[in-house]
Amino acid sequence: MRLVAICILMVTMVSTDTYAASNPVDDANKVAEQPISEQFQPKSVMIASQTGQVLYDYHPNEETDPASLTKVMTMYLTLDAMKRGDIKGSDEIKITQEYQKMTELPNLSASPLKVGESYTVDQFLDQITLKSSNAATLILADKISGDSSKFTDQMNEKAKKLGMTHTHFTNPTGADTKLLEEFAPKAYKDEGKTTSTARDMNKLMYHIIKTHPNVLQYSKKTSAKQHGEVLTPKNTSLKGQENELRGADGLKTGTSDDGYNLALTAKRDGLRLNETILNVQPYPDQAAENARHLIANALMEQQFQDYEYKKVLSKGEHKINDHRYNVKADLYDVVPKDMDQVKFKVNDNDEIYVDYPRQFIKGTHAPKVKADKENAFTSFFKDLFE
């Protein structure tokens, strides 16, 4: 077996800094194909989906209104129910008078639903990702929990489990509860808007993609035809859309009087990045609505240029920090592309990981692989005849 000596030196790179040096617009303009106005200053967080590593953040914990990004949690609980076998994507739901009235609420996006029509759970999920339908979220909440207050309770319970410490949901849609009128959850009808942060929304993205990767089968769609209506996406970063970003396949847009929001995910060469952009202002403003995609695309493009997900250590025998180890599996990690040499550390459990300055969202950590340390006698003679 050929021994590979691992050098423990590492050049400190500027690209390992997870914090924005200036602000998202300034950083986006470094790589943007067209100039982006300085008036747009969103909160932003980007993580590597494989590891939970934070690659970029700007005002990550500032509480604000996530608007329809809230619907990602509704989708999460729906996919949970599907995974448990409580419902199926092919289950049909018949439109009642009450459901039709949900689509007629003023100032809220929805696909038109008529009494007597039937839609599948899958079709309602398409309405959420493509049309951002508020009625679809309320109908799914009713299907799963029988009561929107109970469903909202479950949303908040799930948020707590996921470590979304700055998030409080007030309904399944993300709209201000007063706009839902009679359909607002009774236990939350006086609470107004949902509150969250760019970091919390990114945690939600991380967990839904990890737990339910099939969510991307819904969020990557660019059209769907239902009862004569053709649904098209609000997410213009998707393939074939106005602001197409290579590799983008989800996840959700959101809009309120606090600004324009975007939860964007994309994958290239094995690396998946999840990004949240919150409160691109002013509202209403078509330029600001478009800017959320320009900013998100440019920031993500920069991180794809700077980072890669690759095998950093092969299974087998290696010399690390003057000790020999038999590494039990290949080690993959997200590292800067300009990192000349990699520094490895071994913890007290004889697990090897890459050591460089970085941060992770709560509950995640640097990838590790198990290794057996050779005894000193064997190692001495191998060194002697090396």
Q: Strand 224-226 relative to strand 307-313: parallel, antiparallel, unpaired?
A: unpaired
Return the number of other C-beta atoms located less than 10 Å from residue 115's C-beta.
12
Token pair of 334 as six digits:
């997200």
Among residues 284, 314, 281, which one has the least CA distance to residue 295?
281
Q: How far is CA 108 from the centre of its chain?
A: 24
H or E segment to which residue 279 belongs: strand 271-280
Among residues 354, 303, 348, which one has the least CA distance to residue 10?
354
Can 68 be counted among the known catalytic residues?
Answer: yes
Backbone angles phi, psi at 46, to 5 degrees: -135, 135
Report DSSP state, residue 241.
S
Q: Strand 118-120 relative to strand 92-94: parallel, antiparallel, unpaired?
A: antiparallel
For 206-223, give the DSSP string.
HHHHHH-TTHHHHHT-S-
User: What is the Cβ-side half-sphere exposure of residue 120, based on CA atoms within 13 angstroms?
Assistant: 11
The rounded distance, in Å, linking the Cα atoms of 370 and 353 is 9
Residue that the structure tokens 């039937």 belong to: 118
The rounded distance, in Å, linking the Cα atoms of 227 and 118 is 9
Catalytic-role residue among 43, 44, 71, 111: 71
The rounded distance, in Å, linking the Cα atoms of 83 and 136 is 19
370 is in an annotated binding site: no
Catalytic-role residue among 49, 68, 111, 196: 68
* 3-state SS track over 85-124: CCCCCCCEEECCHHHHHHHCCCCCCCCCCCCCCEEEHHHH
Catalytic-role residue among 49, 109, 132, 256: 132
Q: Strand 316-320 relative to strand 4-5: parallel, antiparallel, unpaired?
A: parallel
The rounded distance, in Å, linking the Cα atoms of 68 and 254 is 4
Token pair of 118 as six digits:
């039937």
Can 132 be counted among the known catalytic residues?
Answer: yes
Can 189 be counted among the known catalytic residues?
Answer: no
**Is the separation of the CB atoms in 141 and 172 below 8 Å?**
yes
The catalytic residues are 68, 71, 132
Instruction: List the binding residues.
Output: 252
Q: Which residues are annotated as a binding site for substrate?
A: 252
